[in-house]
Copies of this chain bind each other. A is one copy, B any other.
């Protein structure tokens, strides 16, 4: 390692930022939440996550699969059946997500309150 340019001190170096780029979209954490208890079929996911379109559900699952967080298994039955399941890597992420969720449960109300009083004043 003769030349290891640091480049962008923050945008490159901050791992949280890179991670949030991957899980910060609208549906990823919801999908992972449904998959946490165990494998689910495509249709189950679609029904469990109310409001998601097929496009976004599929796109989210593809991204999760691409990043090695979820496996996609096609059963050659009639009709076709596709199961999605968290990988070990995916499961290792549920812990940190639970930490976030716990904080949110405890403090989202505070944010709501702060925002309300901020908006009330100006």
Partner-B contacts on A (CB < 8 A): 8-11, 14-20, 22-26, 29-30, 33-34, 48-51, 65-69, 89, 92-93, 95-97, 99-105, 107-108, 110-111, 113-115, 118-119
* Cβ 8 A contact of A14, one of B20, B29, B65, B69: B29
Chain B min CB distance to A49 (Å) = 5
> What residues of chain B lie closer than 8 Å to A49, measured between beta carbons?
10-11
> What residues of chain B lie closer than 8 Å to A17, measured between beta carbons?
26, 29-30
Assess A16 versus B97: contact at CB under 8 Å? Given A30-B10, A103-B92: yes
Chain B min CB distance to A80 (Å) = 19
In the complex, what distance in Å separates the CA atom of A48 from the CA atom of B68? 33
> Can you list 16 contacts pairing A with B, beta carbon distance less than 8 Å?
A9-B50, A14-B30, A17-B29, A18-B108, A19-B100, A19-B101, A19-B108, A20-B100, A22-B111, A24-B25, A67-B111, A69-B111, A89-B114, A92-B103, A95-B103, A99-B100
